[in-house]
Homo-oligomer: A and B are copies of this chain.
Amino acid sequence: MSPARKPPQISLPVLNDDPRGWEVKVAVAVLQFHGRLERRMSEALSPHGVTLAQYDVLMTLWHGDGITQQELAERLLVTKANVVGLIDRVGAAGWVERRPDPCDRRANRLYLTDAGRKLAIEAQPGQFALVRKIFGGLSEEELQQMHAFLERLNGASTECG
């Protein structure tokens, strides 16, 4: 059972109130808000004995079982070496299992167990409720606007160079 720890540090005052324009103000606000969001999501998860990183694994597999560790590493933007430890932990908790790929004997395919699905079903409503609560202060139209902004920023922050 993973011992319910707080999320990593929130990286709040990375940039302090500075006169150099709104970009920095927004960046600070994003960092600040993300810290709180992450913290509260972690707290909501902790009664289920799962960390946010582990929940990411479960949700990725919930979205689509049977991927390899390498594929999971790519989706999580983590090295394959780290996936080993991650799967060791969710595996030890009984939520995920490795099955050898019959066509490629180097590879493992990852599957949610019944317990893993059960956990996801139990934990998801709380997560959704929390998110609805936190974002409930914005209207649907405002949420759509913010979503559009973030999509554009996600595009920009993916660019190289």
Interface residues of A (CB under 8 A from B): 8-16, 18, 20-27, 29-41, 52-53, 55-56, 59-60, 62-63, 75-78, 124, 127-128, 131-138, 140, 142-147, 149-158
Contacts and interface: CB of A to CB of B under 8 A. Distances in A.
A29 B77 contact: no
Number of this chain's copies in the assembly equals 2
Contact of A56 (B13, B23, B78, B156): B13
A38 B13 contact: no
Contacts of A41: 14
Nearest to A32: B154
B153 A142 contact: no
B143 A23 contact: yes
A63 B34 CA distance: 21
A22 B77 contact: no
A82 to B, nearest CB: 8
Contacts of A13: 56, 59-60, 63, 75
A137 B150 contact: no
Given A14-B127, A31-B37, A135-B153, A143 B26 contact: yes
Given A13-B59, A29-B147, 20 more contacts: A10-B77, A12-B56, A14-B55, A15-B59, A16-B62, A16-B63, A20-B132, A21-B132, A23-B134, A23-B143, A24-B132, A26-B135, A29-B154, A30-B30, A33-B150, A33-B157, A35-B77, A39-B77, A137-B152, A145-B145
